[in-house]
Chain A
């Protein structure tokens, strides 16, 4: 195609490439691997930037517009850079009944951050139900859940994140 300018700005390591190949084997077509591929690329490159979406489109042979549509539909794909620790505090019903707002306020005060802020170390977000309602309030930090939080315990957790 004349109009296609292939930019391979991002380097894929051998290990990542192997992981992508293994992921593709799970599905009868390449397109179905888009969600797992975006997870892998986000882990490798920090967030789903334009180059990541271009790379995914190239790799799976789907239009860039489709990748962008998918990447922006799902909340777990970060479209902006995030801190080393992405703090995601559940604001939904069961957690809020158990004091999620106080936990959030404690985090805001302790880190001097507002929801949506990012600094080098942290990004602070509120999220919808994390599916751990019996042990709320809950905060997800990157891949880990912290449960049964109190305004005090959450500060200790934040201090332990180096």
Chain B
């Protein structure tokens, strides 16, 4: 197995010029954490109150 060859990844050609377009990467870690905290506050507000019953009662008929 040691001599198994691996498919080598070739560098994508336009990687450099696209850095600006990845929005999440430009945000600071603290801003992201604050955003996640707000999100988790909201989830605590709207999450089904009786989680166990809700999960158990979610039964579907199989489809395609």
Do A and B truly interact? no
**A residues whose Cβ falls under 8 Å from a Cβ of B:** none
**B residues whose Cβ falls under 8 Å from a Cβ of A:** none
